[in-house]
Structure 1
Amino acid sequence: MSVLADTPAPAPELPRRPRPPVGTIAAAAVLAGLALAGAWSVWSLGISVSTILGSFDNAIGFFARIFPLDFPPLRQTFSLVFETLAIVFLATLLSVALSIPVSLAAARPTRMGRGSQWTARALIVLARAVPDLVLAIIFLRMFGLGATAGIIAMGIHSVGMIAKLYGDAIEELDDGPRESVESLGGTRAQQIAAAIPQKLMPQLIATALHRFDINLRTSVLLGYVGVGGIGLAIAESLRTLDYQRGMALALIVLVLCIGIELVSGSIRAALMRATGARVTGGTWVDRMLNRGRDTTAGDLSLTPPWSPARIRRFASAAVLVVLTIAALWRVDVSWSALMAGLLDLPKTLALFFPPSSGGSMSDLVEQLLVTVQISLAATFIGAIIAIPIGILAARNAVANSCVHQTFRVIIVIVRGIPELILAIIFIVISGLGEVAGTLALSIGAIGLLSKLIADSLEETDTRVQEAVRATGADQAQVFFSATLRQAAPAFVAHTMYLLDNNIRSATLLGVVGAGGIGFLLLNASRVNQFDVVTMVLILMVAVVLAVEALSMWLRRAVR
């Protein structure tokens, strides 16, 4: 017998488990580092259960001082609400009007060239990076106190969000109809008019409604620098320590925010499930005028009847025009002051340049780091609490409808409370400083992140979940192996968006004494040190862009 015959056959090699890509490992390490930085920030800022419980007596004293609430007379209340809604409406309308051409230039299918695309994208990033408070300070210098500065500030800042979403939506559309018009020799304007508006209209309306909700909260903050509406009334009440009137006005803002959230959510849901007769030919203008082929009629008519769908489209356009006229009448925009401010733009900008630290660069950097700490701590605390709330609010994660509906209501209520109001309450309870700002941002983070998490879970592919369930897996196994795994990249993106948002919000909350660089920003504007305002803005933009770059890399790495 040969030696080879006695040699045992080698054991078959087991298939090796594929190693995760290097980018995924690096992304996990970065996320772990951010979590550790958040936990360290919580400890460094002195936030603990004992700190919160130690302020319990102050909280009882504060709530004892605000009751009974002192609401203004009914006529004054309606006037303040009308003025606030008018400012927010005009700011949102301005942002949509500015965002449409910017988004068309930023999207690949509709861009005029690579140069215009990069320019438009740079404008979008810059608009998002510059806080609306800084813009309001600039425009208040140009146009004086009042609604005009706030409208323009919120309008320009909102372009950063709206134009980005519009541009992304255009790039995700089927480019076939536009290419067909292009192949027939249509101009760029004809390609856009024929292929883009009718498909983009639901996204355009839904995004505008979402931004209106955000601008309503922002308008409260801008009241602290002289913009009108309820925000200015709250600022004046709290400066005189009239907490009964200030908190009564804050309650009105809360009801407004919740109401707008519910109404806009209903409209967005109706847009997504809208059914019925649709005109398939022509542009969106053609559909509004009901020119072209009606899918229910099957014929071509130049003078079609006034169908319910056509009446609704005309009514929507008419309501928009009426609201615009009413808003312009209420805020009483001074066109002469607006023109004078635009003519004085070079002189105004000269006040902001060259940038200067005012001899206190070390203080600026120190407070900027405090702002980053507040943001990290608030994101860390908010994420820990928001993740379970978001899971319980998702319909496909919790079978009991009462449970997820209850948590949806909680999310709406929490999201309805403006962070500025929370900051003021925590400042009174725990004193000026970083603790108040962190706690206020943490509660705001819970409302935002839990909603995003719940929506991401509900948007996962149900076919994957059904396939896992068909193997005999129970509800928990389906959730962790299919639902949660699909939503994980979205969780990372939402958390980074929250961190980015918290950096801006922490800066703004510093205006009311909630710690960070915002307090130095407001002081510099009050003593006309506009060159210091510019330096603060440069530092803030640098941090925001760094977080934006890190967020983009993480989204690519975990996708």
Structure 2
Amino acid sequence: MTAGTLARPTRSGTGATLVILGLLATGCWALADLKINVATVADSFSNATKFARRMFPLDFPPLGELLGLAGQTMAIVISATLLSVLLSVPLAILAAATTTPGRGARLSARAVIVLARAIPDVVLAIVFFRIFGLGAMTGVLAMGLHSVGMVGKLYADAVEQIDEGVRSAVRAGGAARGQELVAGVLPQVLPSFIATALHRLDINLRISVVLGFVGVDGLGYEIANSFQRLDYRRGMALALVVLILCVLVELGSGAIRRALLRGGRTTVRVPAQRGARIAPQWTFARVRRTCYTGATVLAVVFSLWGADLSPVRFFGGLGDIGHNLGLFWPPDTGGMFGQLLADLGETVKIALAATVLGALFALPIGALAARNVAPLPWVARAFRMVVVGVRGIPELVLAIVFVVITGLGPVAGTFALAVGAVGLLGKLVADSLEEVDPEVEQALRATGATRLQVFTSATLPQAAPAFVAHVLYQFDTNIRSATLLGIVGAGGIGFDLLSASRILEFGMVTTILILVFATVLLVELLAVWLRRVVR
């Protein structure tokens, strides 16, 4: 393809640009319509000062109780993440165009992934509480199934971005379809798979706080009880513990990722001839990778034990699943369909405004957190810590804080989601920049290009498709998160969802889920089209 061909705009490329600009303009309109501006922040300053006085000094529980709560939370979170990975790998292979040529199978797998992402984890927890009762199993199932929405999507995206040349070489050697997947696909996506699983781990740690508000044991349940008693000193102390755990998980997962995936790429080799054996040397790096692998296995084993997952209880609860699921059908509006649509529109408006506001800060912060972009190593480490710190604060806790500061309504939800977007989107941007092909950067650097020229001409173009996918993913994540934040009075359709659940109007819960699912599905289809055009 010639340079002139590359420069010539296509009809689909022009359409994608117009859609992106349209979303950006709509997001800016949402910010203006919600009155998100400097004056709003200034008017809330006095309330923030009053809240700070009520929050300090922090009140921590006894050390033994604190360690027990932290251990219980981590066991549930790790078990749920493992469940999501086990379910997401086959779904991702079915959902990727590169591994599943059948359109029907791809769309079905994508629909399952979108459905898992569209159903709020709180709703899944409510359903599983009716089936399995209180306990860690409810949290593991709700969090694990909901995580498939993110993990399966990112796994499928990674499979679609593989180097087809490697798979063709394996196929040319006479490999069967299963061997082609194992030797030609999985080695290429392994770095992304591990990074996504580790990333989902700390997301689930924050989600555990949300599930605590509907009765899942651990730190989240104690935080919910503290806020319900207006005991902000204890609630914020426990939230700080969650933040510390998130930082520790981030540092540990980062070390594991660098040790297991040193160099950022997995080299795919053609199998040696029969009888030949290659034994890698036991270098310090290999010993360290082995230790991290062993530590990961031990953490999983102890988590499965600590979460007290009982197969007997699981299969026993399945006996009543038909009756309990029947409570959610048929859908019912309760004579409030118009109000539900208006509240859904407010939810989308909150999500759009928060995505634009969050991306405004997340893109530069994420760029400076990337080791291959930051001017100095300590700058990348410093901004990584900023991202980790922001991401460690549960969005529901942020929503409660902003409700106290700004009052009930969509402004609190927008601020909470925007701050959360800096953590999630900032990390995804940094990871995408670090995963670009370094040879392209080195080739341009060898011509005497400056750091800025290398970034704009080599690094940024490679990461641009991922940027588009990440921002759109953040948007549909914010739609679902805005639904949940309505539980604590942060605006949107979440309040209707919580009210319907409390008064046992499960038909209305189903209606709300259908509305949210349809909205998220539209965003997903738009994201798939934009990613293919921008790629």
TM-score (norm 1): 0.84
Contact 1:282 1:292 in 2 (8 A): no
Residues 323-359 of structure 1: per-residue CA shift (max 9 Å, x gap): 4453344333454442232111111111000111111
Distance 1:469 1:296 in 2: 33
Matched, 1:449 2:433: no
**1:136 and 1:113 mapped to 2: Cα distance?**
34
Give the Cα–Cα distance (whole angstroms) in 1 for the partners of residues 419 and 526 of structure 2.
24
Give the structure 2 partner of residue 411 of structure 1: 387
Counterpart contact for 1:70–1:248, Cα < 8 Å:
yes
Is the 8 Å Cα contact of residues 445 and 454 (structure 2) preserved in structure 1?
yes
* Bigger shift: residues 133-142 or 106-115: 106-115
Q: Which residue of 2 aligns with 1:4?
A: none
In structure 1, stretches of 5+ residues that fail to align are: 1-14, 284-290, 298-305
Q: 1:33 aligns with which of 6, 14, 22?
A: 22
> Mapping of 1:341-356 within 5 angstroms?
341-356=317-332
Contact 2:239–2:397 (CA under 8 A) maintained in structure 1: yes
SS of the residue corresponding to residue 358 of structure 1 reads coil
CA separation of 1:317/1:401 partners in 2, compared to 1, >3 Å: closer, same or farther? closer
What amino acid maps onto 2:478 in structure 1? Answer: N
Q: Alignment partner for residue 514 of structure 2, among 519, 523, 538?
A: 538
Equivalent position to 2:307, from 319, 326, 331: 331
1:175 pairs, out of 153, 167, 170, with: 167
Give the one of 339, 348, 364 matched to 1:372: 348
Of 295, 302, 311, which residue of structure 1 is paired with 2:279? 295
Stretch moving more, 108-117 or 374-383: 108-117
Aligned partner of residue 486 in structure 2, secondary structure = helix
Question: What secondary structure sits across from 2:491 in the alignment?
Answer: coil
Query: 2:285 and 2:276 mapped to 1: Cα distance?
Result: 14
> What is aligned with 1:521?
497
Aligned equivalent of 2:366: 390
* Matching residue's letter, 2:208: S
Q: What percentage of residue pairs aligned between the two structures are identical? A: 54
State the partner residue of 2:233. 244
Give structure 2 stretches of 5+ with no counterpart.
none
Task: Report the CA distance between 1:537 and its aligned residue.
Answer: 0.4
Tell me how far 1:83 sits from its aligned partner. Answer: 0.6
How far did residue 418 of structure 1 move? 1.7
Residue 264 (structure 1) shift: 0.6
Which deviates the most, 439-448 or 402-411? Answer: 402-411
C-alpha displacement at 1:534, in angstroms?
0.5
- Total equivalences in the alignment: 525
Match of 2:140 in 1: 151
- Match for residue 251 of structure 2? 262
- The correspondence for 1:253, drawn from 223, 242, 256, is 242
C-alpha change, 1:308 and 1:558, in structure 2 (3 Å) is: closer
Moved more, 471-480 or 357-366: 471-480
String of CA shifts for 1:192-251, please: whole Å, max 9, x gaps: 566666666544433322221111111110111111111111001100101111000000
Residue-by-residue CA offset, 1:64-107 (whole Å, 9 max, x unaligned): 11111110111110110011001111111212222233344445
Partners of 1:404 and 1:320 lie apart in 2 by 26
Report which stretch shifted further, 381-390 or 144-153: 381-390
Alpha-carbon separation, structure 2, partners of 1:421 and 1:406: 24
- Answer yes or no: is 1:98 the counterpart of 2:74: no
Q: Which amino acid aligns with 1:510?
A: G
Which residue matches 1:288?
none
Q: Does 2:421 align with 1:432?
A: no
Q: Measured at CA, do residues 190 and 489 of structure 1 come closer, stay the same or move farther in structure 2, by a change above 3 Å?
A: closer
Which position in structure 1 is the counterpart of 2:470? 494
Residues 358, 457 of structure 1: alpha-carbon distance in 2 compared, 3 angstrom cutoff: same
1:146-189 superposed Cα distances (whole Å, 9 cap, x missing partner): 221111011112223333444454552632576368x37x6x66
Specify the alignment match of 2:51 in structure 1. Answer: 62
Establish whether residue 362 from structure 1 lines up as the match of residue 351 from structure 2.
no
C-alpha spacing 1:163/1:445, structure 2 compared with 1 (3 Å):
closer
| Secondary structure in structure 2 of the residue aligned to 1:25 | helix
Give the structure 2 partner of residue 218 of structure 1: 207
Secondary structure (helix, strand or coil) at the match of 1:489 reads helix
Counterpart of 2:13? 24
> Match for residue 194 of structure 2?
205
Moved more, 257-266 or 385-394: 385-394
* Whole-angstrom CA distance in 2 between matches of 1:68 and 1:264: 32
Q: Which has the larger radius of gyration?
A: 1
Task: Output the aligned Cα RMSD.
Answer: 3.4
Q: Would the alpha carbon gap of residues 190 and 19 (structure 1) be closer, same or farther in structure 2, given more than 3 Å must change?
A: closer
CA distance in 2, matches of 1:99, 1:281: 27
**TM-aligned CA deviation for residue 260 of structure 1:** 0.5
The CA distance in 2 between the partners of 1:343 and 1:506, in whole Å, is 34
| Deviation by residue 1:445-466 (Cα, 9 ceiling, x = unmatched) | 1222233333334444555556
Compared CA separation, residues 68 and 203, structure 1 to 2 (3 A): same
CA distance in 1, matches of 2:179, 2:13: 44
Asked if structure 2 preserves the Cα contact closer than 8 Å seen for 1:213 and 1:261, the reply is: yes
The answer as to whether partners of 2:212 and 2:220 remain within 8 angstroms in 1 is: yes
CA contact (8 A) 1:279 1:294 kept: no
TM-score by length of 2: 0.87
Cα-to-partner distance string for 1:43-81 (whole Å, 9 max, x where unaligned)? 211222111111111111111111111101111101100
User: Matched residues in 2 for 1:479 and 1:315: separation?
Assistant: 36
The Cα of 1:441 is off from its aligned counterpart by 0.7
Measure the CA separation in 2 of the matches of 1:17 and 1:228: 55
> How far apart in 2 are the matches of 1:489 and 1:192?
24
Does the Cα contact within 8 Å between 2:358 and 2:419 map onto a contact in 1? yes
Does the 8 A contact of 2:183 with 2:268 survive in 1? no
Q: Is the 8 A contact 1:280 1:292 kept in 2?
A: no
- Contact 2:79–2:307 under 8 Å retained in 1: no
2:394 partner amino acid: P
1:381 paired to 2:354? no
Cross-structure match for 1:7: none
Deviation at 1:494, TM superposition (A): 2.2
Separation (CA, whole Å) in 1 of partners of 2:307 and 2:507: 31
Q: 1:418 to 1:409 in 2, by over 3 A?
A: same
- CA 1:24 to 1:196, structure 2 compared with 1: closer, same or farther past 3 Å? closer
Q: Aligned to 2:408, what secondary structure does the other structure show?
A: coil
Flag the 1:482–1:510 CA change in 2: closer, same or farther, 3 A: same
How much does 1:120 deviate? 3.0
**CA shift for structure 1 position 388:** 2.7
Matched-pair contact (CA < 8 Å) for 1:280–1:294: no
Return the alpha-carbon distance in structure 2 between the equivalents of residues 318 and 466 of structure 1: 35
Shift of 1:433: 1.4
Task: Give the match for residue 271 of structure 1.
Answer: 260
